[in-house]
Structures are given as C-alpha cells and as structure tokens.
Structure 1
Amino acid sequence: MSCCFYLPLFKFPDTILQIAKMAQPASLPEEFLSAVFESIRNSSTSIRAADPTTDCTGITAPSSDEIIKLAEANAFWSVQELQCLDSETFTKNVGFLGTVMGFNRSQLIVLKEKAKQVWSALPGWKSYHIVSLGRIAIAFNESEIEELDLSSIDTIAALSQQTEWTLVQAKSILKGFLKDSSQTVHRLKSFDLAGLGANLCALNTSDIKTIKTTEFSAVIARVGLLPCSPPVLEEFKKMAESVFGIATGWNSSVVHEIGTIAAGLNGKELKALDKDVMPYFQPAAIRHIPDEVFKELSPEQIANLGPENAAMVTESQRNHLNVLQLQSLQLALDGARTSVQYAQTSASSIRSTHTPASNCAHFSSGFSICLCALFILCLTS
C-alpha cells in the first residue's frame, strides 16, 4: 500500500476512524488496524491512569477515550499495558474490551484476571458481571467456571454467544447451569435449550434421549445451527425422527430446517434420500457428515448437491470418494465456478463504469475503501 495511504492515518485520525466504522472488524486488514492504533495512541491527549497495585513503571495504560475510539484496534495493546489498567477504566470499558475479536489468549487471560481483581471472588459475581465480559469470558478455565453462579438461563445465553469454548469448558457451563438452577435435562424447557446454544453439544447421548420431544421440536431449527460432534448429531437426528418421522422419508423442507442435524444420518439413510433433496442440505451440514458416511452418496446425489454445498466438501471427504463420485463433485463445483466468474465479470463492469480502481484500496475480505478524499488531503497538506 502506498505511503500516501499511511500519511493521512496520522494526520487525520478522526477521518480514518469514521472509515473504519463503516466496516465489520473482520474485514479490516491488520496493517490498517495497526496504523489506526499508532495514530490514535500518538495523537491522544487523554489522561491515562495506571493500576496503583501493579508495577507499571514506564508503562502507559490505555485511557477510556482511547479504548472507545480504537474499537477492534484495541487488540494492539500489549499484555503489560492491559495489566496496568486501573479499576475505574476497566469497569467503565469492559463492555468495549469484550467485543474485541483480535485479542489473543494472553491478553484475554490478563483481562480476566483484572476482572477478578476488580470484582473480587468469583462466587460473589452477579449475572451482569459475567455478561459484561463478552469474549473475555472464554479465558475462564474449568475450575473458575464451576465457581460462577450460572443459575440464570440469560447468563448462559450470553455465554453461548461466544463461539470459542472448548468442549471441556462447554461441559462445565452445562454442568454449572443444571446444578445451580436445580434442573435435569429431562425438565429443560424449549427456552432453556435455546439459551444453552452450543453448550448442548456437551450433552452425553443418554441425556439427549431424555429431552422432551415437545420442547425439542420448538427449537429444532436452533439446534440445527450447532457444530456438534457426530455422536451428538446422531442422537439429535433420532430426536428429529420423533418429530418428522423416519429419516429415509424426509423431504427437502425437513432437511433444510434441521440444518447440521442432517449430518447425523447414517450411510443407509443418506443414500435413501431422493437426489432432489440434496440441494436443500444446509452447507454447514455437509462438512459435518463423517467421511465414511459421505462416501455412501451416489454420483447422482453428489451431482445434485448444488454449488454452495459442493464447495463445503472437505478434503478428507473428497479422499474417500471414487472416480465417478469425484466427477460428479466436479460437475457441481463447475456450477459454482461459473456463478463466481459471472459475478466477477458483473462487478468488474460496474467498477469500470463507476469507480476508478487506482484510487481505491481493496482489502482481501472484499471490503473496499475509496481513498479519493484522503488522496487529495495528502496532496494538499
């Protein structure tokens, strides 16, 4: 990227911040966020208070103003700088810090420890403490999760919004909820199942059998969003049969509604499905089908997967296919490639008509920031 892009970052930080807010965090390149971080940090006149209980000699702690302005660029604070946050600044901005997707494990652990320092022992935490942590909560280990009060399904639902829990952590959350709320799996209502989210993947197969069909049927589409292991999906599939009937007779609407649960079908059941049902599998379900089961699909079924589903076939699944099946998969992929080429041609035509490509910086995620105004500022400053 040219120097003319970086110069305005330091001279016009507010303009850059406005541009950054137009994009999703994941669409902004690391280099861009790093430049924003340095720009805001160097231009800040905010008073930075440091934790008096920690040795922060020579270390400048983040200020509230900087944390709010930086958003995703907060990921560039060092572990030592985050450790030196004073209690007031942390309490005031924990909600902002909990939304930063770029924090690594070490940064998250430091922020978790800061929360324990500010809010005292874990058993005394209220629901709002746990909820406010956002992504910072994934730094809790198994024993720490056991100390938390997880009796509220609202607390569990908030924790379930985080997608990076390990199976061990998920089991601890599930166990904590059942214990603290004095519930059993059999007594769970539909709103409990919905609130537990991905923590349902931590259920053992015997517990899944005890879920009431009426409660399960009310949230089956939500359960169908979960990336559970094959044994768990197989049990959910059996539950789905109690709602929709035997799996070999499922139609396209059922297969689409149950999402990843369809990955719990065995080879015989999968092979028995009509080929016209295949495009209605949700893409997430395709990549969750075990290799040994996926290879049972006929060439005709594979050819009818549809472009999006064909693109979800994993390398491991592909390695289990025979020549005819691979040829069918290629037919489906060729359809996807044709669609992409058409979209690229259309996009190129639009760009050539409306936007000079030389004046824009295109990021790998597809997000494009037009720098015409900044280019002018660079030339005139």
Structure 2
Amino acid sequence: MCLIVLGKDPLETEIAELLWRDLVKVYTTADDIPEDELQLLGWISKGIPAPDFMNLSLTDIETIASFGKWRNYSKEQVMSLKQAIEDQWSYKGPSDFSSYDLAALGQVLCAFNKSHIAAIKPFAYKVAAADISNLVNCPQEIIREFALLATSRDAFGDPSGWTAIQIALIGCVIAGLDSVRDIQPDAFEGLAASSMQCLPNNVLQAMSIEQLSHLSLSAVNALTHAQLSSLDREQIRAIEETAKTLGSVLNDGCCFTSRIAAWSTVTLIAYLQLSTLIL
C-alpha cells in the first residue's frame, strides 16, 4: 500500500532513485524483489537504474504492463527494459505477440525497431489499438509502422472509410499516415483529448479546415500553445469558432446538440466494442 501511495504521482528523478534504493535494501538485491511489489511501483520505477531492469523478474504480464505505462523513462532505461523483456520472452517474437502482449508492452513498443513492429499481426494490433493509441515520444518510423498495421485489411482498412469510433481507437497512430486528409472530416469527432498530447504539429498543420472544425471541445481545449502556434490563421479561426460554438452551448446549460450527443455515443460505443472485441 505504501508503494502505491508513493508512486501514485510523478516524482522528481532524484526522489524516485532514493525510493528505489531503499526498496532494494529491503530485499538485498533487485532480482529478489517480488513481482507483486514491482507492479505497485508506479512513478517510483522512474528511479530504477537502467542495468537493474536486466535483473528484475518479468514473468508476469501484469508486471510488464506496469512498466509499459508512460513514466518518462530515459532512452537507456527503456532500451534496458525492452532487452530484459526480450530475454525473458525468448520463446516468442513480435509475430507471436497477442493483443494482450501489445497492450501490456505499451510505451516499450517505442524501443523496438520498425521490422519488429512490421512483424506484428494486424488483427492483434486492431484489438489492442486503444491501449497503444497514445504512445508518447515514439519515433516516427515506429508510428508509421503502426499506421501501416492500422490500414491493413485485417485491421481498420482504408483511412477514407474510418469512422469516429475507429479514430477514437487509433488515436495518435494517424500521425503515421501518408496523408491525414484521407480521413473523412466527421471521423475526427472521435479524436480524444488524450490523443492531442502525442499528435505532432505537422499532422495538425496538414489537417483541413473542415477536419479541424469537427474536433470535440475537449480535444480543442487540450491543444498546447505550441500546437496552436504551428497553425495558420484560417486553421486557428476554425478552431476558435468550434470552441466558441460548443462552449456557448455548454455554458448556456442547453441540451446537447445531436453532434455533441454523437460524440458521447462514439466514446461509449468505442469502449463497448473494445471490451467485446466487436471491431
């Protein structure tokens, strides 16, 4: 319980390192720390020295899932973690990864090379899409490989036919497409606010006025100053108009319009379809 509390929120690296050293002292060595303890580390894991990852027991998929979350690890930490997982998963390669494996790996997938990502089965990616839709600071070549998986016939197919539900699941992987304008404007109603943090400026710049006009209010509000500054005047005007229109509806306490109701339905259906693997 103490670990859960201490690792619940982001920690300064020095504090995380101190807490990790104290935990190692309790168990004498890093490789003696039980996996159920490792699963509770949260942001304390940011303080694990890169070499220590090679000594951790990673036999439980839940342990890997706990390390697969975004913790702002250094490149050295992620590479060491990825190597440790590969060593302990020597019996399987990327082509054997299930959707459950992909969801657990999360941010660690960004440390794989593009040939590894290309070997992933499209259907496995499809089922895990929502869990790896918002990978942070992932190399563009990796995002591009995920986009190729997304456009596979066994996944979501041609981007021109993607719906808001599918965009909600795919998230930032749209950044790997050759042309984001292939996506129908109304499909962008499904782009979640959480996806905005990992959407590169060049993708926003490539979006049409109509596409930007279909962003949800929460997505618009999630745009950073840097993202907004990268847009041209017409794009800014489209976003401001969307924020003004939808904001006034909410502030006036009016009933949701059919468009806002549709966004709520999109989110609900996306979760339902993900949980039942309908997609």
Partner of 2:29: 121
Q: Provide the rounded CA distance (Å) in 1 between the counterparts of 2:200 and 2:156.
A: 23
Q: Provide the rounded CA distance (Å) in 2 between the counterparts of 1:220 and 1:181.
A: 22
Q: Which amino acid aligns with 2:73?
A: W
Partner of 1:357: none
Partner of 1:248: 160
Partner of 1:199: 108
The question of 1:288 aligning with 2:203 is answered no
For the structure 1 residues 130 and 211, does the alpha-carbon distance in structure 2 shift closer, same or farther, using more than 3 Å as the test? same
The question of 1:109 aligning with 2:17 is answered yes
The question of 1:324 aligning with 2:226 is answered no
SS of the residue aligned with 1:199?
Answer: helix
The question of 1:170 aligning with 2:78 is answered yes
TM-score (norm: length of structure 1): 0.59
Partner of 2:260: none
For the structure 1 residues 181 and 208, does the alpha-carbon distance in structure 2 shift closer, same or farther, using more than 3 Å as the test? same
Q: Which amino acid aligns with 2:180?
A: L
Same amino acid, percent of matched pairs: 22
For the structure 1 residues 166 and 248, does the alpha-carbon distance in structure 2 shift closer, same or farther, using more than 3 Å as the test? farther
Partner of 1:277: 187
Could you list the runs of 5+ residues in structure 1 that have no partner in the other structure? 1-92, 344-381
The question of 1:217 aligning with 2:129 is answered no
Question: What displacement does 1:331 show?
Answer: 0.5
Question: 1:297 is matched with which residue: 207, 225, 228?
Answer: 207
Deviations 1:296-353 (A, max 9, x none): 222222222232222233333333332222211210121343256336xxxxxxxxxx
Q: Which amino acid aligns with 1:309?
A: A
Deviates more, 1:200-209 or 1:285-294: 285-294
CA contact (8 A) 1:123 1:147 kept: yes
Map 1:68-217 → 2, pairs under 5 A = 94-101=2-9, 103-161=11-69, 163-182=71-90, 183-217=92-126
Deviations 1:121-149 (A, max 9, x none): 22333323423444322210111112222
Larger Rg: 1
Deviates more, 1:171-180 or 1:271-280: 271-280
Q: What's the RMSD between the two structures over aligned residues?
A: 2.5
CA contact (8 A) 1:135 1:162 kept: no
Partner of 2:177: 265
Could you list the runs of 5+ residues in structure 2 that have no partner in the other structure? 254-279
SS of the residue aligned with 1:295?
Answer: helix
TM-score (norm: length of structure 2): 0.78
Q: Provide the rounded CA distance (Å) in 2 between the counterparts of 1:96 and 1:303.
A: 41
Q: Provide the rounded CA distance (Å) in 1 between the counterparts of 2:181 and 2:41.
A: 46
CA contact (8 A) 1:263 1:286 kept: no
Partner of 1:313: 223
